[in-house]
Chains A and B, each alone.
Chain A
Amino acid sequence: MTDTLSERDTGVLPGGPGEGVIVNVRDGGDIVTQDMNLNIGPQHPATHGVLRVVIDLDGEKISRATPVIGYMHRGFEKLAEARDYRQIIALVNRHDWLSAFNNELGVCMSVETMMEMEVPDRAQWIRVIMCEWNRILNHLMFVGSFGLELGAITPLFFAFREREDVQHLMESATGGRLHFAYNRVGGVKEDLPAGFLQASTKMIKVIRQGTTQYRDLLFGNEIFMARTKGVGVLPPDVAMEFGVTGPTLQATGVAEDSRVSQPYAKYGELDVPVPVGTNGDSYDRFVMLLERIDASTYIIDQALEGITAGACNVKLPKIVKAPEGEIYTRTEAPLGQLGYYLVSDGKKNPWRLKMRTPSFYNVSMMSYLLQDALLSDMIAILGSVFFVVGDVDR
């Protein structure tokens, strides 16, 4: 039997899995293999948390992979029903702890839209800037850790070096390093501190230098290229069928981005570049991260030009109550489309808050991606489908 992977691939890449690899020989071949059931996780460094994958191995080939989730289920949707809208802001900080600001924004936008509240311009600009800084923060994490998972330790240190600076920057405005809780219904908590915009300008340069460095480090690395190119190829139609979004979807060549397709805050007034890949493999997914970081710096640049003076929040009633009704708000979180479906019965706490988190759907596609992959490619695939386990389980 010949290699089955190459049939599915667009072509055999040098160093890719199709080249000179005998996957297995059964029934009449020289080698007879036996199916093996292997349990990866729930504690595994490559899974960024407690994701467990049960795989059936046929030789070195994964014949079936089943992600087992729920180890971090904290019942956020139930908890949200017992809290009012201001408390929910702190709650949603925590389902995807790498995209806290983007999460808050979704909830705040939902409530604002239901209350038909006008958010001041400056607040919207601040939101754009903070969103993009948070996106950079998130992507830097995955840039560093993906390199680490493939054996390159330096990118992690470099990425965390920049991450620390960005965290300091965001901390100066929000007071938090991970859980910002900077958004409020109707704006943001308070105005940016003095010197924040200048510091942002400087930081953009630092980030741009950083991404150049990561590219040099990794794309000049033969091992990295060999382990990612042509590995874990995801066709666009399958990606869309599974509801995959974010960099994982963009890598397949689909230019979908909520910031462009349904602009919120001030994104409608900005030029938002949407990078797309060609093959949808691990390499493309990783490249998407770097290009999205570049896009974010470009957006922040524009926002720093466009930001206006004025109020940055509105006076709220003592008790915030969303009027009866329902709304679905989607935003582009760093990992993909984040949707909040909010149903209100007119009280101060939601009747139901459904969280459509990107990681949940990205991971649901994993069983497709891992099927027929090699065991040694599993880490390269897991690491390149970007997810946060807290975001999967909620």
Chain B
Amino acid sequence: MPGGREKPTLPSLTSVFRGANWSERETFDMFGIDFEGHPGVRPRILTVENFEGWPLRKDFQLTSRNAKPWPGAKEPEEQKPAGGAADATASAGDAPAEPQDKAQAAKAKAERAKAKAAAMRAKKAAERAEAQTAAADGAPSGGAIADSVDQFGGGDTDDEAAAAAATAGGDPTASTPEGAAEVAGSDIAKDAAAGAAQGDMDERAAQDAANEDEPVVSPDAEAEAAQGAPPLPSTSPGTEAEGRRGGAEIQSGARDAADTPGMTSDTQGLGAARTADEVPAPGPESDRPLEPQSGESSTPDGGAPLPAEDDVPVVPAQGSAAAPLASDAAPEEAEDERHGLERETLGVEGDGGSGQDSAQAAEGDSGSDQNVTQERVAQGPSPHPSPSEQTDTADRADPNRDLASDATVEDEDEGDRR
């Protein structure tokens, strides 16, 4: 073409067909081709006058595609390995790679939530064991616990945790954790209580973890303990089993999520993230559901069902297994909390109509939590969930499952459409 790529020019047809006027103006606007003899290709007919570039040229990239590649550009089989890789990095606890697309972002999110839930579970186990220790012989279990608890508290959230602990101290209803701390008679226990009360989000995760922990996992752990896992010099078999359970759970959970998105583990992980989303900022009343958990271990009933081997501190195993994950996950969440926007977007994208459901679920939670706590205080930690607890879990699980399946279905959907 005369003029080359920089200044292409063609002779105009307008002298033959008047109707060629707009066609040529459009061609100029879209391709930058000037027309000799045209009454005036400017002003640009479809775009604005100060528009830069020639939109229909192949080297012109759509603005939104600069930020994110068009997901439809990939074949279904192309997308799978990429997603798997992203999952692998996420499950390894590294900083997740730049999300390739929405579905992967959602997956990574689920991963993080899952890891966090696992960390919370581990922490709870540590707490319980520690309280056991404190109750049994009252001996402080050493600086290692403090370290691990600090790590659970996680960087930025420490302040919040401290604040939460302060409110807990001021709140008359929250005297139990303080009491527990006093029983333990050490700063470490206080730290543990603070760590546990560090915010609604964690608490929810802990709640979830507790719900799934007690009926299913504890017997396993006991069984494992009974079988006699090889004891380490410093720890008894039981605690070792407990500690390793935390670590193993995390790994297996992560693996599950990576291999089979949309499985229960993924669902729960997402669920934890999502319930956390919907809960309002931590207030004084938010500490209440935690009472029994820290209190249960201080009461004689609460301590009884746990295996006696649990007396010895769990710390070394846990510190090694759970802490890296927790320290990675916690700032991540703190970040999210500051910019709640991202998570909101996720919610909206993942599940368009979940607003009502989740609101209901949240209501149900706040209502039934009370019951659960009361029951637990009365019965101690029973291996079987109470009916209200079951319905609670079911309520929460349903919308979550929708969300998770949406996230995965979206993935498949795109493949399908392609």
A residues near B (Cβ < 8 Å) are 69-70, 73, 75, 77-79, 82-84, 86-87, 238, 241-244, 319, 348, 352, 360-361, 364-365, 368, 393-394
B378 within 8 A of A: no
The answer to whether B70 touches A82 (Cβ under 8 A) is yes
Please list 5 pairs of residues, one from A and one from B, whose beta carbons are closer than 8 Å in the complex, sorted by A's number: A77-B56, A241-B17, A242-B19, A352-B56, A364-B22
The answer to whether A78 touches B19 (Cβ under 8 A) is no
The answer to whether A87 touches B45 (Cβ under 8 A) is no
B418 within 8 A of A: yes
Known: A75-B62, A82-B72, A243-B17; 13 extra A-B contacts, CB below 8 A, are A70-B45, A70-B47, A70-B48, A73-B46, A73-B47, A77-B30, A79-B62, A82-B65, A319-B75, A319-B418, A352-B56, A368-B18, A394-B46
- A243–B72 Cα distance when bound, in Å, is 36
**B157 partner residues in chain A, CB cutoff 8 A:** none
The answer to whether B75 touches A364 (Cβ under 8 A) is no
Chain B residue at minimum C-beta to C-beta distance from A239: B19
Partner of B46 from the list A83, A84, A393 (CB cut-off 8 Å) is A393
- A336–B48 Cα distance when bound, in Å, is 27
Chain A residue at minimum C-beta to C-beta distance from B26: A360
B417 within 8 A of A: yes
How far in angstroms is the closest Cβ of chain B from A187? Answer: 18
Chain B residue at minimum C-beta to C-beta distance from A393: B46
**B26 partner residues in chain A, CB cutoff 8 A:** 360
The answer to whether B21 touches A364 (Cβ under 8 A) is yes
The answer to whether A69 touches B56 (Cβ under 8 A) is no
**B70 partner residues in chain A, CB cutoff 8 A:** 82
The answer to whether A78 touches B56 (Cβ under 8 A) is yes
Given contacts A82-B72, A241-B18, A319-B418, contact A70 B46 (CB under 8 A): yes
The answer to whether A364 touches B418 (Cβ under 8 A) is no
**A244 partner residues in chain B, CB cutoff 8 A:** 19
**B30 partner residues in chain A, CB cutoff 8 A:** 77
The answer to whether B22 touches A361 (Cβ under 8 A) is yes
Given contacts A70-B47, A242-B18, A365-B19, contact A82 B73 (CB under 8 A): yes
- A348–B73 Cα distance when bound, in Å, is 9
- A330–B265 Cα distance when bound, in Å, is 54
- A73–B47 Cα distance when bound, in Å, is 7
Chain B interface, >50% SS class: loop
The answer to whether B62 touches A78 (Cβ under 8 A) is yes
The answer to whether A84 touches B72 (Cβ under 8 A) is yes
**B331 partner residues in chain A, CB cutoff 8 A:** none
**A86 partner residues in chain B, CB cutoff 8 A:** 417
B residues near A (Cβ < 8 Å) are 17-19, 21-23, 26, 30, 44-48, 55-56, 60, 62, 65, 70, 72-73, 75, 417-418
Chain A residue at minimum C-beta to C-beta distance from B43: A68
- A77–B54 Cα distance when bound, in Å, is 13
Given contacts A241-B17, A360-B22, contact A87 B62 (CB under 8 A): no
- A16–B269 Cα distance when bound, in Å, is 75
- A87–B17 Cα distance when bound, in Å, is 35
**A69 partner residues in chain B, CB cutoff 8 A:** 45-46
**B75 partner residues in chain A, CB cutoff 8 A:** 319
Partner of B418 from the list A84, A365, A368, A394 (CB cut-off 8 Å) is A84
Chain B residue at minimum C-beta to C-beta distance from A365: B19
**A75 partner residues in chain B, CB cutoff 8 A:** 55, 62
- A69–B30 Cα distance when bound, in Å, is 14
- A83–B417 Cα distance when bound, in Å, is 11
**A77 partner residues in chain B, CB cutoff 8 A:** 30, 56
Partner of A364 from the list B19, B44, B48, B73 (CB cut-off 8 Å) is B19
- A8–B116 Cα distance when bound, in Å, is 81
Given contacts A77-B30, A241-B19, A361-B19, contact A82 B62 (CB under 8 A): yes
How far in angstroms is the closest Cβ of chain B from A329? Answer: 18
**B46 partner residues in chain A, CB cutoff 8 A:** 69-70, 73, 393-394
The answer to whether B19 touches A87 (Cβ under 8 A) is no
**A241 partner residues in chain B, CB cutoff 8 A:** 17-19
Partner of A87 from the list B23, B47, B417 (CB cut-off 8 Å) is B417
**B72 partner residues in chain A, CB cutoff 8 A:** 82-84, 87
- A84–B417 Cα distance when bound, in Å, is 9
- A78–B418 Cα distance when bound, in Å, is 18
**B60 partner residues in chain A, CB cutoff 8 A:** 78
- A243–B21 Cα distance when bound, in Å, is 11
**B418 partner residues in chain A, CB cutoff 8 A:** 84, 319, 348
**B44 partner residues in chain A, CB cutoff 8 A:** 70
How far in angstroms is the closest Cβ of chain B from A96? Answer: 16
How far in angstroms is the closest Cβ of chain A from B23? Answer: 8
- A244–B18 Cα distance when bound, in Å, is 11
**B48 partner residues in chain A, CB cutoff 8 A:** 70
**A348 partner residues in chain B, CB cutoff 8 A:** 418
**A352 partner residues in chain B, CB cutoff 8 A:** 56
Chain A residue at minimum C-beta to C-beta distance from B69: A82
How far in angstroms is the closest Cβ of chain B from A88? Answer: 11
**A393 partner residues in chain B, CB cutoff 8 A:** 46
Chain A residue at minimum C-beta to C-beta distance from B57: A78
- A304–B56 Cα distance when bound, in Å, is 43
The answer to whether A243 touches B55 (Cβ under 8 A) is no
- A354–B310 Cα distance when bound, in Å, is 74
Chain A residue at minimum C-beta to C-beta distance from B48: A70
How far in angstroms is the closest Cβ of chain B from A390? Answer: 12
**B65 partner residues in chain A, CB cutoff 8 A:** 82
Chain B residue at minimum C-beta to C-beta distance from A368: B18
How far in angstroms is the closest Cβ of chain A from B80? Answer: 15
**B18 partner residues in chain A, CB cutoff 8 A:** 238, 241-242, 368
